[in-house]
Structure 1
Amino acid sequence: MSDHHFWLSDKQFARLQPLLPNKPRGVPRVDDRRVISGIIHVIRNGLMWKDAPPVYGPHKTLYNRFVRWSAAGVFDRIFAELASESTAADTVMIDATHLKAHRTAASCKKGAAPRRIGRTKGGLNSKLHAVCDGDGKPLILLLTEGQVSDYEGAKHIFEHLPPEATTLIADRGYDADWLRDALRDCDIAPCIPPRANRIEPVDYNADVYKRRNLVERMFGRLKDWRRISMRYDRCAHTFMSAICIAATIMFWL
C-alpha cells in the first residue's frame, strides 16, 4: 500500500461510520472505508475519476457512490452533524471566497438544475460563503454564483447562526445597517469595520477583529484540495459535497 494514498484512520472511520446511510436489504455495500477513502483521494488530488488508483477498487464504484450520496445530501448532513458539536461557537466569523470554474463545469444543457456558477471580472466562478467558530472551524457553508455579494450571502446564512453566538466578526463587505440591526436584535455584537464611503460612523473592536484571519486560513486549507480550488463538477450539489468532505476531514475528524 503506497504512502501517498489517502486512508481514513481507525479513529476517523469509527467517528464517521454511525453517520453513514443504512442499507438494510439487498447485497451488502462495498467496503465503506475503502470507497470513501478513494473519493477523498480523488478530490484532494484533483484526479479524474477514471484515474483513481486501483487500490480503492473500480473507479465507477467510487464515482457512483459519490454521485448517489451527493444527490441524497449525505455528505452535507455529515458535515452539519459534526459541525454542530462545536464548543467555540460564541464568537463566529463570516466571509466568502471565489472558486474558479473549469470550462468543463460550465458546459451544461440549458434548463438543467442550478449550477451556482456566475461571471465576474475573474471569469466563470462560484462563491463559497462560510461561517467559522472561534477555533477557525467551519460551521456553515453556502455555495452561490460568483457575482453574489457578501451581504446577500449573509441574508441566507443569518438565520442559521448558532444560538450560542454572541459576537460576529466580518470584513467591510458586510457593512450594512440591516445586518448590524439584525445581529443586535439577536443579542449578537457585530465586529465589522465601516466602509470608506459610510456617512454615519460606527465603532468596532479592533482587537477582536484581528481574529478574522482564522476564516481566511480556513479557506486557504480548503483550497489545498485541488478539486475545490478549481471546480470541475457541473452539478452544484456534487461540488458542494466535495467541499463538505474536505471540511469534514480537515476540521471535524
Structure 2
Amino acid sequence: MPDHYWITEAQLERIKPYLPRSHGRPRVDDRRVISGITHVIRNGLRWRDAPEVYGPHKTLYNRFMRWSRLGVFNRIFAGLAATGGKPDQLMIDATHLKAHRTAASLLKKGMFPRRIGRTKGGLNSKLHAVCDGKGRPLIMLLSEGQMSDYKGAALMIDAFPKAKTLLADRGYDADWFRNALAERNIFACIPSKANRKVQMPHDGTLYRRRHKIENMFGRLKDWRRIHTRYDRCAHTFMSAICVAATVIFWL
C-alpha cells in the first residue's frame, strides 16, 4: 500500500482559521491539496512526481507558491505554536541546511535575498530556532550559512516568550546576550568559551536537557526537502520548514 500522507479532518479544523478565504469559485479540496504539499516536502519529490491521488501536481505547486508569498504557512506555525502555553524553559540553537545546486545561486534576483551563504562546507542556509522545554519549536529564523549564532539570537530575542531559563551552547556566550536575558528575568544556562578571562558558572545537570533541541533539528531533517534545500526563494523554503515543524510538533 502506498505510503501517502493525509491530514485528518480534526487537524484541518485546527488550521482552517489561518487559511485565506476563497474568492469567487470555491477552492479545490483543502485537505487533499495540503496533504499533497506535505507529502512532497516530506519525501523530497519534484512537484511533477506527486502521486495522482492528490490531484494535478500544478495545483499543489501553485497553491504552495501562492500561500508561501502570502505567509500562510508561517501564520499556521506561529498560531499553533502560540497555543502551547507559557514555557518555563527555552532552548536556542542553529543548524546548517545544505543548498542543492538547483537552489545555490548567490546572484540576487528579485526583491528579497536568497538567504544562501558560503561556508567551509559549501553553499548553505542556516536555521536558527528557539524551542520550549519539550523540544517544540516556537520561533524560527532562516539566514545565510555564515551568520553567527549570536547574531541570529539578536534578531529573535525581541520575540522570546517569558520563561525562567534559557539553555544554549558556547556559541551564545556573549556579555550582551547574557545581559539581554537578565533584563527579561531569564536565567542563562550557557557554558563559557575557552577564551573568556572570567569563567561563568552554569548548571551542568540542567544543561544536559539541551539535547532536545538537537533532536528537534534531527526530526526536521528527516524530511528530504528540509535536509537539502531545493527552493531558490527563501520564503518558499521557510514555508516548507514551517509545514514540517507544524506537522511534526503542533498537529
Match of 1:144 in 2: 143
2: distance between equivalents of 1:34 and 1:107?
33
**Which SS does the other structure have where 2:84 is aligned?**
coil
1:65 pairs with 63, 66, 76, which one? 63
Alpha carbons 1:89, 1:162 under 8 Å: kept:
yes
Unpaired segments ≥5 residues, structure 2: none
For residue 205 of structure 1, report the CA deviation from its aligned partner: 0.8
Using the size of structure 1 for normalisation, the TM-score is 0.96
1:45-124 superposed matches below 5 A: 45-87=43-85, 89-107=87-105, 110-112=108-110, 113-124=112-123
Change (3 A) 1:96 1:108: closer
2: distance between equivalents of 1:180 and 1:72?
36
**Which SS does the other structure have where 1:141 is aligned?**
strand
Once the two structures are aligned, what percentage of the paired residues are identical?
66
Unpaired segments ≥5 residues, structure 1: none
Alpha carbons 1:86, 1:133 under 8 Å: kept:
no
The residue type equivalent to 2:12 in the other structure is F
The residue type equivalent to 1:216 in the other structure is E
Moved over 2 A (4+): 107-113
**Cα deviation per residue 1:56-107 (whole Å; 9 max; x = unaligned)?**
0000000000000000000001100010112351200000000000010023
Alpha carbons 1:88, 1:135 under 8 Å: kept:
no
1:32 pairs with 7, 30, 52, which one? 30
1:199 pairs with 190, 197, 200, which one? 197
1:104-183 superposed matches below 5 A: 104-107=102-105, 110-112=108-110, 113-163=112-162, 165-183=163-181
Alpha carbons 1:101, 1:230 under 8 Å: kept:
yes
Q: Does 1:212 align with 2:210?
A: yes
Change (3 A) 1:10 1:247: same
Aligned residue pairs total: 250
Using the size of structure 2 for normalisation, the TM-score is 0.97
Please give the root-mean-square deviation of Cα atoms over the aligned residues, in Å.
1.1
The residue type equivalent to 1:64 in the other structure is N
**Which SS does the other structure have where 1:105 is aligned?**
coil
Match of 1:18 in 2: 17
